[in-house]
Amino acid sequence: DAKTTQPTSMDCAEGRAANLPCNHSTISGNEYVYWYRQIHSQGPQYIIHGLKNNETNEMASLIITEDRKSSTLILPHATLRDTAVYYCIVFGDTGRRALTFGSGTRLQVQP
Amino acid sequence: GAVVSQHPSWVICKSGTSVKIECRSLDFQATTMFWYRQFPKQSLMLMATSNEGSKATYEQGVEKDKFLINHASLTLSTLTVTSAHPEDSSFYICSPTGSVDTQYFGPGTRLTVL
């Protein structure tokens, strides 16, 4: 699986958009970009995933650059409940192999 | 998204006892089950993978005789920590997967061994 690089931590003001970057310069053509988050003492929660087109769901938006070497997860209006560790994972073998988690980005939403 | 449950959500036990953790996929059939553990301030680490009706395969450094995995049905898998010791204290998370394009996770079980 392609390696990802994320900032260790970020702060965001409540009500503002949180933009979490992820670099994955070695991504291959059949690998998706997945985003999960883990709120303290809970299991990881799926947020969104995409291959090359931008994606949006009720939780977030995923912007993938044209060359697919980086992506940004956008939480449009962050709330205190969005404080969590966010993991960007590049993966192309869903269902057959397990996801590998890196260190992620610790997002702290400030009141 | 898929609904996954784990039981118990937390357990405290004495050293030397065995603890069983259940993981259920409530709205889909899990042909494969991944078990992870997470130590404080660390990320999730895969422990083992099991396919329904088959023996589990364990990651390097995970003792198969200590962490017994049963995946006898498509909706239930159990992880038994045998003769638990304080160093086994951790957050255990299951991830059942089937014919879906997204991996979902259980809420986790916090094990504390005294």
- B21 SS3 class: strand
Mean pLDDT, residues A42-67 taken together: 95
Place A8 in a pLDDT band, splitting at 50, 70 and 90. very high
List the single residue in B102, B104, B107 with the smallest CB-CB distance to A42. Answer: B107
Is B86 an 8 Å CB contact of chain A? no
pLDDT of residue B27: 84
pLDDT of residue A92: 83
Question: Average pLDDT of chain A?
Answer: 94
Is B25 an 8 Å CB contact of chain A? no
Does residue B101 surpass a pLDDT of 80?
Answer: no
pLDDT of residue A47: 96
- B114 SS3 class: coil
Partners of B91 on chain A (C-beta within 8 Å) are 41
pLDDT digits (tens, 9 = 90+) for A11-36: 999 999 999 999 999 998 889 999 99
Higher-pLDDT residue of B15, B54: B15
* Closest to B13 (Cα-Cα) out of B88, B94, B68, B107: B88
The answer to whether the Cβ–Cβ distance between B103 and A45 falls below 8 Å is: no
